[in-house]
Amino acid sequence: MSATPTLLPRRKLPIGIQTFRTIREEGYYYVDKTGIAVDLAQRGAYYFLSRPRRFGKSLFLDTLKELFEGNQKLFTGLAAETSWDWSVQYPVIRISFGGGVLRNRAELDESMGESLRVNRQLLGLPLPAGLSETNLPGNFADLIAQAHQHSGQRAVVLIDEYDKPILDNIDNSAAATEMREGLKNLYSVLKGSDEHLKFAFLTGVSKFSKVSLFSGLNNLTDITLEAAYSAICGYTDADVDTVFASELPGLDRELIRQWYNGYNWLGEAVYNPFGLLQLFRTRQIRPHWFETGTPTFLIKLLEKRQQFTPDLSRIVASEALLATFDVDNIPVEALMFQAGYLTIASHRQILGRLELTLKYPNLEVQAALNDSLLQSLTGAQNVPGPHFSKLYDLLMARNFTGLKALFHSFYASIANDWYRKNEMSGFEGYYASIFYSYFAALGLDIRLEDPTNFGRIDMTVLFDAQVFVFEFKVVELNPAGSALQQIKDMHYADKYRSRGEPMHLIGVEFSKASRNIVGFAVETL
């Protein structure tokens, strides 16, 4: 029998801490990313990284700042300690748009001007006579050149949340465009400052078109989908088991993995740091990351485009499509992937093109996003909530009469006025979307378009050592035959017989006329 490992003392949880020095000097947990920072600095000069919000981008940029400034003491015991030349210090210019919301060009220009003033003060570099502070491109270009000339070392430029002023206004095309043009005014300086730059790193949530935002800045290396940097931000399974080992006793390790792990950028999967740290703080499985920002714009966009919600967990897209994002061109796939609501499930190369299959990263996102989608699909925030616990109890009790009554009541609770105003109700998949999102919001193991030798099962749910096989039908569109009979005729149950678990075949029939379930037949094997 192996000995139980001795756990190290618990440390402070770095929730919301984006300063490398604070983490290293004040006893917080730290997952060592300094080896990646050194690798980037030694391999290239200009980088771009897209990651969802609250994923540790700001902390990584601050780590780069301390590295280039040569603050060796902070790196004691870390990977960078023995792999970095500490004899050279570089001037660092750091710009962040992470704080506050900017609503117009005047506010943006003031923010950029203030950032340049602060950087000049920190570096001890005065604004030359004759150069106005309002000349932002000239000011920025001069700051970079002066930093080089004054220190004797080329400058390092770190830009955090480079796209936030645009994203904060993405539901207002005119304002978002205004922000884009203002930012272009600043970023265009980098291209012409090459001789004075040692290193530049830009981070954000979305990858806007280089043509529209960077105005010729085509020398940025986009490492967003490079396997070697998949874990540049976030925590790996190994990190959880080692760095955070002292936090795990009393928690269900597999449930933690199912709820918070799974974000992937063609390499090793990672956990969202914020969600995991909040779990360790509260000791409760909850959608911690999702609750920090309801994706109102995303929900509205999905509704406007009449997105069939079951398709969200199986989208296939090209790499180019996921990188196609601008104020007036927002593919749902790109928005959901870049914002962290979908991640990469698998990929393949087809004649030089990278094809990606997307999925929900974990149960946190699946459950919380579908909860929000249900509120949108039903037109009321208070409709879905009370039904979730009832659904769970009815499934546990195998009470199918109650299950039919629950869904009938749920559809009936949707106000008629909402149907009249909303085009979504005329969409063929509307009824199935609600049914699916109901189960997905509960965090159940769901298989959609489940392939068999004879066809595809609409939805399979694996729960409590039971198999639930669902077939959906809109009677006005498919008048012949029942949904349950199709399950039997297509031998859908055969796929799961080897599990040796009870199976429940459930045919669900909807009517567009009555806006409700008109058939709910069950057969248990």
**pLDDT, one tens digit for every residue, the chain (525 residues):** 445 556 778 999 999 999 999 999 999 999 999 999 999 999 989 999 999 999 999 999 999 999 999 999 999 999 999 999 999 999 999 999 998 899 999 999 999 999 999 999 999 999 999 999 999 999 999 999 999 999 999 999 999 999 999 999 988 999 999 999 999 889 989 988 999 999 999 999 988 765 566 655 667 899 999 999 999 999 999 999 999 999 999 999 999 999 999 999 999 999 999 999 999 999 999 999 988 876 678 888 887 777 777 888 888 888 888 877 788 888 888 889 999 999 999 999 888 888 999 999 999 999 999 888 888 777 766 656 667 888 999 999 999 999 999 988 888 877 565 555 555 555 557 778 888 888 998 888 888 888 888 888 989 999 999 999 999 988 888 777 799 999 999 999 999 999 999 999 999 998 888 888 999 999 999
CA distances from 200 to 118, 156, 470, 479, 518 (A): 18, 6, 53, 62, 61
Strand 155-160 versus strand 197-204 pairing type: parallel
Within 10 A of 293 (CB to CB), how many other CB atoms are there?
Answer: 10
- Tokens representing 54 are 């609250």
pLDDT at 85: 97
Tell me how far CA of residue 77 lies from CA of 24, 34, 72, 80, in angstroms. Answer: 11, 11, 10, 8
The CA distance from 204 to 224, in Å, is 10
Q: Which two tokens stand for residue 430?
A: 């509307």
Q: How is residue 325 written in tokens? A: 């994002």
d(CA 181, CA 95): 17
Of the candidates 296, 275, 295, the residue with the CA atom closest to the CA atom of residue 287: 275
Give the closest residue to 123 by CA, choosing from 90, 86, 100, 166. Answer: 90
In 368-515 the beta strands, taken as DSSP E runs, fall at: 445-451, 456-463, 466-474, 503-511
Give Cβ neighbours of residue 245 (< 8 Å, ≥ 6 apart). Answer: 5, 7, 8
Order across the sheet with 343-350: list the strands: 316-318, 353-359, 343-350
**How far is residue 205's CA from residue 197's CA, in Å, rounded to a whole number?**
24
Nearest to 33 by CA among 60, 68, 13: 60
Closest C-alpha to 509, from 451, 432, 400: 432
User: Domains plus CATH for the chain?
Assistant: 20-224 (3.40.50), 237-291 (no CATH), 379-524 (3.40.1350)
CB contact at 8 A, 131 and 139 = yes
The contacts of residue 506 (CB under 8 Å, 6+ apart) are 400, 468, 469, 470, 471, 484, 487, 520, 521, 522
Supply the angle between the helices 273-282 and 253-260 in degrees, to the nearest 10.
Answer: 140
| pLDDT for 422 | 59
Q: Where are the beta strands (DSSP E) in 452-514?
A: 456-463, 466-474, 503-511
What was the pLDDT predicted at 122?
A: 97
Q: Which residue has the tokens 């023995």?
A: 82
| Residues counted in the chain | 525
Residue 450's DSSP bridge partners are: 457
Q: What is the DSSP letter of 422?
A: -
Chain centroid offset of residue 281 CA: 22
- How far is C-alpha 515 from the chain's CA centre? 34
The helix/strand/coil state of 147 is helix
